Structure 1
């Protein structure tokens, strides 16, 4: 079997497309790269969903923690404390045990039957845990940046007649993002790395449609050689990290585009005569 045929058969296997049966013998390097890369789709899914939704929830938590009313501040503080204070690995197991205890027939609310069997699937339950976890960490980052917003900027906004949502949207929030973005970039990288823990959690992989670590372990168990599949999985995550650094770097330059001397272009001027 050629490598192109292997890619066609197993490239989207983690999504349920292509060959159903896993290779049984004579494992090639192309099969390693193809199947582990196919599983990486699920890691991307978990990371993107948690990061996209967690960004907005973290912003709300940071604003709530920095606000004056105790009824709004205390729940945000306890949420951040609980999810930052407990290991992510334990959060996976607690969430799975809690979701699996929901009535299998569903929950009836107002005469409407809401199914609950889908909550124990990895695509829903594991994504929920990662979303809550990254929201807590990002909220603490945003909270620190929100407290570091220069008072002069806020006073200038007051002088212009800004208040409430307008003041936050045009002054406080952009400044908060500029201050928090380097630390938030690290949180995004850690989040995508943390998606590998889904494999060890209680959330099952439906019909062997696992993530990158699922297929890496499959090859390691079959060949008794972990020094090929696991470095390949690490190689994929290194590429993913480089992509994240590049993407978040572009956003960082966009956020700081108005600052003088922010990220000047590299100019190569060879010195011919000294």
Structure 2
């Protein structure tokens, strides 16, 4: 099988397209790169889903933790403490054990005139259960980042907002939230990178790979076990993640520069002459 045939057969295998069985012989470099790259699609999926959903929940948790009402503040503090205080691997294990206990036939919800049966088979698979755990975990860490940013919003900005009559939701949307994003973005970039790396723990969790459709580390472990040589497969995984890390750093850097577009940059300061003629002054 040529390299082009290998790419055609295994490039999207983690999504269910291509050859059903894994390669049994050859194990050349093209197979390594193609299959591990196919599994990387799931890692990117976990990261995108967890970041997108976690960003929304983290904002709500940050606002709740800074609330004056104890009934709102305390649950947010407990949630953040629980997921930041326990290891991610333990969270995977506990979540899988709890989700397996759900009835196989589904959960029946009585709605008066009729009953609604919710299927629960899908939630124990890696693409769903592991994504939920990563979503809850990154929500807690991101919320703590946002809480620190909310507490460091300049007091002058809040006083200016009050002077203009901004209160409640309008003040948060126009003043607090943009400032919070600008202050928290460097730390949130690190959290996005850490979350991407944390997706490799899905392989070690109890969530099974449905029909051998695993992540990058799943295929790397397969090749390492077949060839008894881990010094090819695992470095390929590392190179893939380094490339993704550079891409995340670049994208988040663009967003960070957009958030700080109103601030003077060092480049602009260098362009400004230090001594101006008296006529210009």
1:31-85 deviation digits (Å, cap 9, x = unpaired)? 1000000000000000000000000100000000001100000000000000000
Give the alignment partner of residue 157 of structure 1, picking from 158, 161, 164: 161
Cα distance between partner residues in 2 of 1:179 and 1:150: 11
2:191 alignment counterpart = 187
Give the C-alpha shift of residue 4 in structure 1.
1.3
The 5-angstrom pairing of residues 80-159 of structure 1 reads 80-110=80-110, 111-159=115-163
1:45 alignment counterpart = 45
Give the C-alpha shift of residue 10 in structure 1.
0.5
2:279 alignment counterpart = none
Cα distance between partner residues in 1 of 2:154 and 2:256: 19
Cα distance between partner residues in 1 of 2:156 and 2:187: 23
The 5-angstrom pairing of residues 212-227 of structure 1 reads 212-227=216-231
TM-score by length of 1: 0.95
Cα distance between partner residues in 2 of 1:162 and 1:265: 33
Cα distance between partner residues in 2 of 1:137 and 1:25: 44
Equivalent position SS for 1:227: helix
Equivalent position SS for 2:108: strand
1:54 alignment counterpart = 54
Q: Structure 2: 5+ residue runs without aligned partners? A: 272-281
Please identify the structure whose Cα radius of gyration is greater: 2
Equivalent position SS for 2:166: coil
1:58-115 deviation digits (Å, cap 9, x = unpaired)? 0000000001100000000000000000000000000000000011111111221111
TM-score by length of 2: 0.93
Structure 1 runs, 4 residues or longer, greater than 4 Å off: 262-267
Cα distance between partner residues in 1 of 2:210 and 2:269: 48
Cα distance between partner residues in 2 of 1:263 and 1:76: 42
Give the direction of change, closer, same or farther, for the CA distance of 1:155–1:52 in structure 2 (3 Å limit).
Answer: same
Whether the aligned pair in 2 keeps the contact of 1:95 and 1:129 (CA below 8 Å) is yes
1:143-195 deviation digits (Å, cap 9, x = unpaired)? 00000000100110010111111100010000000100000000000000000
Give the C-alpha shift of residue 117 in structure 1.
1.2
Give the C-alpha shift of residue 26 in structure 1.
1.5
1:239 is the counterpart of 2:246:
no
Cα distance between partner residues in 2 of 1:61 and 1:11: 39
Give the C-alpha shift of residue 262 in structure 1.
6.1
Cα distance between partner residues in 2 of 1:139 and 1:235: 30
Equivalent position SS for 2:231: coil
Give the C-alpha shift of residue 5 in structure 1.
1.3
